[in-house]
Amino acid sequence: MNNLTLKQLRYFSAVAKHAHFGRAAEACAVSQPALSVQIRELEQSLGMALFERSTRQVRLTGFGEEFARRARDILRSVDELGDLARASRGGMAGQLRLGVIPTVAPYLLPRVLGVLDEAYPGLELKIRETLTQTLIAELSEGRLDAAIVALPLAEAELDEFALFDEEFVLIRPSDEGDMPVPAPDQLREMKLLLLEEGHCFRDQALAFCSYNPSSSRELLDASSLSTLVQLVGSGVGVTLIPEMAVPVETQSAQVAVARFGRPQPTRSIGLAWRKSSSLAGQLEQLAHILRDALSPN
């Protein structure tokens, strides 16, 4: 046990997360043999197997499950020590690990990066783009400092700060541009194209339409807003996208943009971080700067 290292714990946590040595090695930016050696040495130090290995999958043992929980706590505490050091220096400098949801990242990040570069010249941003639930988990585990997400998250251990609200717009084929804008319940009768499950924007669009996705109606799911808009341009159906995506996604597609009457579908975009973070004060200041810079008014 005297030889147990933080490197081994980080490699172990990566394998536990990805359930795959190759993907874990890629996430850790090391070779798979190097990672495997560290895991093997960790198991030898513990005198216990952490993983069940087969040709198809890697699975935690019973002991490995408990060890993973303890390892996450240790790694989170180590990361928080780094946060404490950064907070003690005052201001915001060094590395900031920022998560962003996919329906925001391509459209908002250029503005966010410019704002932060001007406000914090010494800041080194590390961006992580992924789905909301993954961002919440990585915030909770201390692998991210903050995340730009759709609010509310309703997570007791996270603070939320609203940055701005934005509307959803209807995207339909260009030859339908002069037609009346359908009411929300009428969208349920149309071929509505949506992001695949896991995207919070999908859930928000379904809620606006009061649509039950378990019904027998045909839906077509995609992994990006760009794909949805291009499909609409090909005459496949209609879709909803956030206002911020309109300039980027509609410039190369034969589509028409329509805005709904009241009640207009909207979402709130905000910044979230751990209440326990040593950087909480600096992150709130950062949130105020972003809100002032990103507010449409």
Task: With respect to residue 211, please indicate whether it lies within any of the assigned structural domains.
Answer: yes
Q: What is the pLDDT of residue 213?
A: 61
Establish if 122 belongs to a structural domain: yes
**35 alpha-carbon distance from chain centroid:** 26
Query: 218 lies in which domain range?
Result: 166-266
| CA distances, 227 to each of 22, 236, 244 (Å) | 29, 11, 16
275, 149: one domain: yes
Q: Cα(286)–Cα(279) distance, rounded to whole angstroms?
A: 10
171 and 30 inside one domain = no
Whether 259 and 196 map to the same domain: the answer is: yes
Q: What global pTM score does this model have?
A: 0.74
17 contact partners, CB below 8 Å, separation of at least 6: 24, 27
Does 80 map to a domain? no
Regarding whether 171 and 160 lie in a shared domain, the answer is no
Rounded Cα distance, 197 and 208, in Å: 16
Q: What is the pLDDT along the chain (297 residues), one digit of tens a residue?
A: 557 888 898 899 889 888 888 888 888 888 999 999 999 999 999 989 999 887 777 889 999 999 998 888 888 777 777 666 665 555 666 788 999 999 999 999 999 999 999 988 888 899 999 999 999 988 988 889 999 999 999 899 999 999 999 999 999 999 998 899 888 888 878 888 989 888 898 888 888 887 766 554 556 788 899 999 999 999 989 999 999 999 999 998 999 999 998 878 899 999 999 998 888 888 999 999 999 998 765
3-state secondary structure at position 98 = strand
Kindly state whether residues 177 and 254 are assigned to the same domain: yes
Last residue of a domain, one of 73, 97, 126: 73
What pLDDT, on the 0 to 100 scale, is given for residue 215? 53
Cα–chain center distance at 278: 22
Assess whether 242 and 275 both reside in one domain: no
Q: What is the CATH number of the domain that holds 159?
A: 3.40.190.10
Give yes or no: residues 257 and 273 share one domain: no
Q: Tell me, yes or no, whether 79 lies in a domain.
A: no
Residue 49 placed within a domain: yes
Alpha helices in the chain (DSSP H): 6-18, 21-28, 32-46, 62-88, 105-119, 132-140, 184-187, 200-209, 225-233, 246-249, 280-294
Number of CB atoms found within 10 A of residue 95's CB: 12
CATH number at residue 63: 1.10.10.10
End of a domain among 51, 73, 95? Answer: 73
On whether both 246 and 174 belong to a single domain, the answer is: yes
Give the rounded distance of the alpha carbon of 154 from its chain centre. 16
Same domain, residue pair 199 and 223: yes
Indicate whether 273 and 159 sit together in one domain.
yes
Examine the domain organization and report whether 206 and 259 are in the same domain. yes
Number of domains in the chain: 3
Decide if 78 is inside a domain.
no
Residues 152, 222, single domain; the answer is: no
